[in-house]
Structure 1
Amino acid sequence: MEAQSAHSKIYMKPVGFLDNPQYFDEQNSRLNNSLMWFSQIECTTIDEGKSARALVPVEQWPQLLEKMVEPLAERATALFANLTRPHAPLQCGERVIRFDQPHVMGILNRTPDSFSDGGKHAGKNGSDPQAAIDAAFNMATAGASIIDIGGESTRPGAEAVWEGDEIKRVVPVIEKLTHCGAAISVDTRKAAVMEAAIAAGAHIINDISALLHDKRSLEVAGVSGKPVVLMHAPSSGKDPHKGNGYGNVVTETFDWLEQRIADVVEAGFEREKIIVDPGLGFGKSLADNLALMNNLAMFHALGQPLLIGASRKRMIGALSKEAPVDQRLGGSIALALHAIQQGAQIVRVHDVPETVQAAQVWRGMRDAGVTARV
């Protein structure tokens, strides 16, 4: 790795994942407390717009660190610590979410205009919650660890929903699901909806604006003590897809999330209760989304559990002869499995039984690899 100046910025991505880590003592490190062990680190340094990359074996990391100038060495040390630090479990009512294995989050839209399943769970005239309740119980029975309930579509071009209507859509469902066996997440960017959902029994706040859309959201989330998902989007305004494009979508998204985590923690929020989401599809082109998917492992250096939501998104259609939304199961599972293989702790999906099955098969193979004796 070439010598860098004190003004360089470094990014680290764990690579070289091993099937049988026990055969390579001191040549690998565990990725957080997951079932993944990495043997190399892909280091990228950027200085005055110029980037340099190096592939560093884990056992040579201490020697490389000694050669780095400050404050580059200090930052590199912190990033490596983030890669290897275990994530604390989240207490979500009766459910404990542990991050030693991947979890499936089931998507439950109570909206008439969501891009994938608009109206499916809205009920008669949008007022009867029973269809949504039944769907949620089916997801929990199928193995979803978390049910994510939303009352406002955030697809491109969607109209904003009054918070009162959003509350009417999500609260009756949450009230019925508090003992379904899964953690309940509310997908909203409005403080009033967060308050109502938490009062109804929600355990997690999932905000696509990272608590920026509503001025009260940060306070509400902090006072609640609930875990929160901070997602990257190019805008926290009415249209979360509005942006000016990216020079490097991976590093810019990483930097944005890193700063947002720091701001939320500085405001008094518990760092152990923050989950991050790079926001696939939000103001990002196909090339941007592919770059993020190919570099998901880099986001572990933020030090937080990682959530990926790629289910049925437009990138699948773009890569598969414009397959319509209801014919994207194969692509959705492929993206979910790729995320899991990059260490993502949560995958947010529409097709819960199929994704749970795929994750269980992956888990079986990982267990066999970790415990294998030849």
Structure 2
Amino acid sequence: MTDTPASDRDPWAVFLIFLRLGLTAFGGPVAHLGYFREEFVTRRRWLSERSYADLVALCQFLPGPASSQVGLALGLSRAGYAGALAAWAGFTLPSAVALVLLAQGLASHGDAVPPGVLHGLKLVAVAVVAQAVWGMARQLCPDAPRIGLMALATCGVLLVPSVWGQVGVMAFGAVVGLWWFRPGPGTAHDPLPLTVRRRAGLCWLALFAGLLLGLPWWAAWAPNPTLALVDAFYRAGSLVLGGGHVVLPLLQAEVVPTGWVDPDTFLAGYGAAQAVPGPLFTFAAFLGASTQAAPSGWLGGLIALLAIFAPAFLLVAGALPFWEQLRRSPRTQAALWGTQAAVVGVLLAALYQPVWTSAVHAPPDFALVLLALVALVTWKLPPWLVVLGSAVAGGVWGALG
């Protein structure tokens, strides 16, 4: 790992870095991984391409929001538990605050953001993901076997478009890596500067399991609106594989049939969640603020937000100490080579579906994607500026059209 300024290890500095990402990272979890890679691998060099791909692979296997879990792990590796909290807060609060405000009175204004601006944000996400896929492929697929494995993984995900398809191709990549690749004893390894010991990791994992099993029993034994809210959102954050849109059916089943949130409000909030940067899991803040019974408003939004993200922290803090030890093994390294190639394939598949197919519909769309990609790759403009420019261009084009 390349040395970075000591100031980057201060939790406040970590918070400010992730706050900027939380204000500009549009495009969903795959695009977020592209923003993270540009910021922390290419620009700040907090970790190597190999270590970043290892983190992405781990978080793809864990339940919960993968991009937020990668952010938690990055903050944890830089500034300990305070850094993990700072990274989560910086990346999450902008969208959470915006959605609570919408729940407080703006959710009914579905046309508050011009459609052209939203379309411009979708288009810049295509460029961000394309840049990430290209950069990771150059580093992690340097030979014909890994290029072939990447292609097979892409085909597998496109043919089986589900979270199980993604997990399946990464497991397939690990098996192929064990069988095909032979890392030497001197294979480079870039350890993360973790501050979590194995005993602490076991405690975090035990707490995760205890809450998952104990909260439903507690909520049934001592009925309480706050406890019921915590139980519902903690369970949703614990059981979802794939993150993002996958959590929406679980949340709908928790809050609509119970009468906490009416269906129209749920759909209005879901639409608003597409217009804000940061993780889609912050939709929980909107739902918590919209509940018909106390706690609601800002308190309900905060409780729901903390409850749905708590499993992500517990799983990352619990798994990382064991993951770091496992990845030193030559056999694990071989499996990781295969998994890394599969991760690139998963991202390449996501670049096509849904990122490309949901955004690029006409020649002007392709032109804006191309300009954004050139701005990122060749002109080296900061991502936030490219995001802003694409939003403005999309808004102008939408107004003229």
TM-score tier after normalising by the smaller chain length: under 0.3
Q: TM-score, normalised by structure 1?
A: 0.25
Q: TM-score, normalised by structure 2?
A: 0.24
Q: Which has the higher contact order (CA 8 A, sep 6+)?
A: 2
Q: Where is the strand percentage greater, Structure 1 or Structure 2?
A: 1
